[in-house]
Structure 1
Amino acid sequence: MDLKAQIQSLIDNAPQDGITPTLVAAIAPALSAIAHKLSHSQYYILQNLDEELVLTTLSNRGNPQEEKQVIYAFPTLQDIPRSYSAGLDPQVIAAPIPVTHILFQLLALEPVDSIVFFDTASTNTNGIEVKRTDLQHLVQQQLQQNQPKNQVPPDIA
């Protein structure tokens, strides 16, 4: 599914409350801008059976008390390391998710600090990190540039 179709799917599946589809359309350029920097239109994300994304806690080697929560996104099923139990643990599945949908979900995933997208097949050492705070900042800029201030709540992202 190309990026335009992904964005349209987000708009079409947004709650039809008169506001949300308009907001999704307003932030679409921000989602597309980041998605264009990535190599794939969909990624495989580990989920549990309740469709909750599997988080990985990373610690800073120099300061072990400094931690962050990340989600890994893999280009193919074969690129998911066996250490993640996908296919081995019946409680963990790898689901293909369109890249714009992953980014849209990241906006609301409070415990998640970032998503690491692995763009090169068979290589899980160099990833592209998209920080939730950076995405939220980009979305806020997009909303401020394109919407009258009275129509969009200031705390949307």
Structure 2
Amino acid sequence: MSLDTQIQTLIENAPRDGSTPQAIEAIAPVLKALAEQLRHREYYILQTPDGNWLTTTLSNRANPDLEKSVVYGFPSLEDARASRPQTTERELIAAPLPVTHLLFQMLAFDRVDSLIFFEIPGNRETGTEVKREDLQRAVRLQLQSYLQQKKSNIPPNLA
């Protein structure tokens, strides 16, 4: 599915609350720009049957008190299955999700610090990290720009 189609699907499936579809449309350039930096249009995420993403807590080797919570995105079903923890009591499924949807959902997940996308099938050693903080900052800047543009397009007699 193309990135434009993914964005359109996000907009069409957004709650009709008067603001969410417009907000998605406003931040679409950020979602698309980040997604274009990744190799795949969808990634497999390990999740519980009710849709909760499997998170992994990583510790800093030099400072073990520094931790972050990450979600891994895998380029193939085989990679996702191979990385399934053997010790978990929960049933996990590997679900394919469009990359723009993953980025959009991460905006709301306070308990997730980063998404790490593995780009090469069979290689789970190196990945591309997208930090939630960086994504939120980019979205904030995009919304400010969008609102400023909207404001400047208001005819003077209506401002």
TM-score, length basis structure 1: 0.89
Give the conservation status (yes or no) of the 8 Å contact 1:85–1:92. no
CA drift of 1:81 comes to 5.8
Aligned equivalent of 1:143: 143
The residue correspondences of 1:3-152 to structure 2 (distance < 5 A) are: 3-80=3-80, 82-85=82-85, 91-148=91-148
SS at match of 1:24: helix
CA shift digits 1:30-51 (9 cap, x unpaired): 0000000000000000001110
Amino-acid identity (%): 51
CA shift digits 1:107-145 (9 cap, x unpaired): 000010000000111111110000000000000111111
CA distance in 1, matches of 2:92, 2:82: 12
CA distance in 2, matches of 1:56, 1:19: 33
Task: Structure 2: give runs of 5+ residues left out of the alignment.
Answer: 152-159
Code of the residue aligned with 1:127 in structure 2: it is G
Code of the residue aligned with 2:105 in structure 1: it is Q
Task: Structure 1: give runs of 5+ residues left out of the alignment.
Answer: 152-157
TM-score, length basis structure 2: 0.88
CA distance in 2, matches of 1:94, 1:80: 6
Give the conservation status (yes or no) of the 8 Å contact 2:56–2:70. yes
Code of the residue aligned with 1:52 in structure 2: it is N
Give the conservation status (yes or no) of the 8 Å contact 2:53–2:71. yes
For the pair shown, which has the larger CA radius of gyration, 1 or 2?
2
**CA 1:81–1:17 in structure 2 vs 1: closer, same or farther (change >3 Å)?**
closer
SS at match of 1:143: helix
SS at match of 2:107: helix
CA distance in 2, matches of 1:25, 1:117: 24
Cα RMSD (Å) of the superposition? 2.0
SS at match of 2:15: coil
**CA 1:29–1:117 in structure 2 vs 1: closer, same or farther (change >3 Å)?**
same
